[in-house]
Amino acid sequence: MGLEDDLPPGEQLVACFRPFLEHLATSEKSKKIIQEHVDNMWALGGEFISELNYDPTLRNRPVDRLLLHLIRHGGPHLRHADQDQQASFDSTCRRFRQFLIRESRADARRRPQIPPTRQKKLHVHTCSDAVAKSPAKRPLRLT
């Protein structure tokens, strides 16, 4: 495992993180709070990649599902964080999870309804959709 193996899931994470970070950037929150959330998202990405390196079988699973599993009860335990840093990280992870769920529900409401007799498999909005829709390597501006 190494850098080359980490790039595809890392790019998918960025696509998942981008809408949340853009939402924060346009919010009424102070620059300090926004920067704290950005730092915590950076840490979440690092923890996610570490999990993939600890258990290579996870690389075969969808990034968005692994991410939701990782933040289901706040964030994962940070190895070198004190209690306040962990609390801040958990708070950001909970906000991020709520954002993903809220966006998924909003997307479901915007989709046309299919009569039950013609339903096969409904498409569920995931971060994978964001990867497919996102322009390549667009810089994120938080100013």
The per-residue pLDDT for 126 is: 58
The contacts of residue 108 (CB under 8 Å, 6+ apart) are: 124, 125
pTM over 0.85: no
Structural domain boundaries in the chain: 3-133
Evaluate whether 122 touches 114 at the Cβ level (below 8 Å): yes
| Separation CA 49–CA 54 (nearest Å) | 9
The CB density around residue 34, as the number of other CB atoms within 10 Å, is 17
The per-residue pLDDT for 110 is: 76
The per-residue pLDDT for 138 is: 52
The CB density around residue 41, as the number of other CB atoms within 10 Å, is 22
Evaluate whether 16 touches 63 at the Cβ level (below 8 Å): yes
Instruction: Going residue by residue through the chain, which has 143 residues, state the pLDDT in tens, using 9 for 90 and above.
Output: 567 889 999 999 999 999 999 999 999 999 999 999 999 999 999 999 999 999 999 999 999 999 999 999 999 999 889 999 999 999 999 999 999 999 888 877 777 766 666 555 544 555 656 555 555 445 555 54
| Separation CA 92–CA 85 (nearest Å) | 11
| Separation CA 1–CA 54 (nearest Å) | 10
